[in-house]
Amino acid sequence: MRRIHLLATLALLLGVAGGQPGRTGLSEDLAKLVRGSGSSYGEAILKQTPDQALCTAHKNRLPADVVGQFIQEQRSAIKYPKDGRLMGDWKQGEAVFNTLARGNCFSCHFGSPLNVSGNVGPSLEKYGQRGTSEAVQRYTYEVIYNPWAYFPCTVMYRFGHNGLLTPEEVAHVVAYLLDPASDFNTKPALRR
Ligand code: HEC
- Looking at the fold, whether 125 and 34 belong to one and the same domain comes out as no
Q: What is the pLDDT along the chain (192 residues), one digit of tens a residue?
A: 444 444 444 444 333 333 343 345 667 776 776 667 767 776 777 788 999 999 999 999 999 999 999 999 999 999 999 999 999 999 999 999 999 999 999 999 999 999 999 999 999 999 999 999 999 999 999 999 999 999 999 999 999 999 999 999 999 999 999 999 999 999 999 998
* Nearest residue (CA) to ligand 1, atom 11: 121
| In a domain? residue 33 | yes
159 Cβ below 6 A of ligand 1? yes
181 Cβ below 6 A of ligand 1? no
CATH number for the domain that contains residue 110: 1.10.760.10
Residue 69 burial (C-beta neighbours within 10 Å; 0-12, 13-18, 19+): exposed
Domain encompassing residue 30: 2-47
pTM assigned to the model: 0.84
- Looking at the fold, whether 102 and 32 belong to one and the same domain comes out as no
- Looking at the fold, whether 81 and 141 belong to one and the same domain comes out as yes
Number of domains in the chain: 2
Question: How far apart are the C-alpha atoms of 104 and 118, rounded to whole Å?
Answer: 10
| In a domain? residue 192 | no
CA 147 to ligand 1 centroid distance, Å:
7
- Looking at the fold, whether 106 and 182 belong to one and the same domain comes out as yes
